[in-house]
Amino acid sequence: MKIALNLLLALVSMALVYLLIESIRKPINFKETREIREQLVRERLKQTAELQKVYKSLTKKYAESYDSLKQVLTTDTFLIDQAFGDKFDTNQVVTIVKIKLPAKDSLKGIIKKNAPKPDMTIDEYFNYLRVVPFSGGQEFYMKTSEAIVEGTDSLMAPTFEAGTTLGTYLSEFDSASHVIYDPEFNPNSLRKVGDLNKPSTTGNW
């Protein structure tokens, strides 16, 4: 009887130690996992915004999809003014000529700077960029619209938004069990860059 009681007490003690360890481990695991994944998501959204800026400089609007971004940035050209002659020499006539530069060159520079592998092909880069990390292959949404420029009555400017929900890349964490670690954690909240309601290319982090 005494042996059985001691065994029971030992099991209860082990269970309490396990619960104590879990109560410490879970919030740490949640915080560390979230920080790592948030960083990866933010990086892809920042790169998306960078490409959208280039796209807008070419088309005066934003792309509605990653496919549109890829199409324009691999086929369109920039028109650059190039001066021939010395503009500080009054004896010379300066001629301004428009030079075409492939947007693809700028895209390759962005890929070399931002891609996890600098030798990524354009196809590989866009396949990487559009997918939400740790989501099982789900893609970021992308939308475009127009909004009134602040300080004006009717001047409209193009807008875009790209993003996903927190639950897409933190699917194993739900608000019911993890609200004690972060009272504001909501898997349905958006992590996005840009804003459909105002001209912006910044993120909401």
* Nearest by Cα to 122 from 86, 71, 88, 85: 71
pLDDT number for residue 13: 52
* Nearest by Cα to 47 from 61, 66, 71, 75: 66
pLDDT number for residue 18: 42
pLDDT number for residue 153: 82
CA angle at residue 57 from 196 to 156, to 5 degrees? 40
Low-confidence residues of the chain, pLDDT below 70?
A: 1-28, 78-92, 94-99, 174-181
Backbone φ, ψ for residue 163 (5° rounding): 175, -165
pLDDT number for residue 119: 87
Element (H, E) at 160: strand 156-165
In sequence order, what DSSP letters do the residues of 3-48 get, joined into one string? HHHHHHHHHHHHHHHHHHHHHHHHHHHHHHHHHHHHHHHHHHHHHH
Q: Can you tell me the distance from the alpha carbon of 108 to that of 46, in angstroms, rounded to the nearest whole number?
A: 16
pLDDT number for residue 155: 92
* Nearest by Cα to 203 from 43, 63, 22: 43
pLDDT number for residue 172: 84
What is the C-alpha end-to-end distance of the chain, expressed in Å? 60
Element (H, E) at 187: none
pLDDT number for residue 19: 47
CB atoms inside a 10 Å sphere around CB 150: 9
Quote the tokens at residue 3. 């042996």
pLDDT number for residue 29: 76
The domain limits of the chain are: 33-76+103-194
CB atoms inside a 10 Å sphere around CB 38: 16
Q: Is 33 exposed, middle or buried (0-12, 13-18, 19+ CB in 10 A)?
A: middle
Q: Is 181 helix (H, G, I), strand (E, B) or coil?
A: coil
pLDDT number for residue 64: 97
